[in-house]
Amino acid sequence: MKRENILVPKPRSNFISVQCEKCGARTVIFSHTTSEIKCSGCGEILATSSGSKAVISGKVIGTLDQ
């Protein structure tokens, strides 16, 4: 088997750009976070851990490509 034919799987997790609904500040968070993420501007909760993917309460702007 040639080395060019080996497929590398994409990770299921990524970094997400989230905008706070309250103050509009943007924050980059990990999609599978294990802790509570708060907005740096107003302290509003942006994401909470759920065991796998985080529950995002802010507005998701987009994902950051690797």
Q: Is 39 marked as binding a ligand?
A: yes
Q: Is 20 marked as binding a ligand?
A: yes
pLDDT of residue 51: 84
pLDDT of residue 4: 73
Report the alpha-carbon distance of residue 3 to residue 10 in Å, rounded: 17
3-7, 20-24, 41-45: least confidently modelled range: 3-7
pLDDT of residue 66: 57
pLDDT of residue 9: 84
What the chain holds in terms of domains, given with CATH numbers, is: 13-64 (2.20.25.100)
Report the alpha-carbon distance of residue 3 to residue 47 in Å, rounded: 40
Q: Is 36 marked as binding a ligand?
A: no
pLDDT, tens only, 10-36: 888 899 999 999 998 999 999 998 999
Q: Is 49 marked as binding a ligand?
A: no
pLDDT of residue 1: 56
